[in-house]
Amino acid sequence: MTKNTKSRFSRFFDRFACSVTKVSGSPSAFVVAFLLVIIWALSGPVFHFSETWQLVINTGTTIITFLMVFVIQQSQNKDTVAMHLKLNELIAAMKGASNQMIDIEDLTAEELDIVKKYYIKLSDLAESDGDIRRTHSIEDAITNNKIKMKADKT
């Protein structure tokens, strides 16, 4: 598969996934699915509640669920990337914001735990200040806390 063909397929699948996600999440899709289940249940006596009758609903729901996992995941992946880019833009645009947070989603779980501990420490320092809005980065929080501690001692 060439790069251009792959790119075309990716764009097609992206548009398809977006459309299917919107439609499948609509009230009318729920009503249609609900009606299909009701029709299936009402047809039970006609088919004497046979194994084939049960297999129809089981197979149908399994296939739909299996395919929907990939479609919905594609839409969620795209939404997640877009949200990260928007947050990165906000971080990059804000004076005083820590640029270390840009692309933080690419860190490992262990690295994220370390960053989380830093922010817990930042929160603790801000809480000891009595004003959680006073600092905006770990470095500033530590510096401000040291300055205040010195001022309190004098």
Higher pLDDT pick, 94 / 109: 109
Task: Report the number of distinct structural domains present in the chain.
Answer: 2
Nearest-angstrom CA–CA distance, 125 and 51:
65
Range of the domain at 11: 3-93
- pLDDT above 70 (res 137): no
- Per-residue pLDDT reduced to its tens digit, 69-100: 999 999 999 999 999 899 888 888 887 777 77
- Per-residue pLDDT reduced to its tens digit, 26-69: 999 999 999 999 999 999 999 999 999 999 999 999 999 999 99
72 and 128 in a common domain? no
Read off the pLDDT band of 130 (50, 70, 90).
Answer: low
82 and 35 in a common domain? yes
Tell me which of 33-37, 117-121, 132-136 is least confident.
Answer: 132-136
Torsion-angle region of 131 (φ positive above 0: left; ψ -120 to 50: alpha; else: beta): beta
Tokens representing 25 are: 């999440």
Using alpha carbons, list the distances in angstroms from residue 85 to 1, 48, 108, 123, 124. Answer: 29, 56, 19, 25, 29
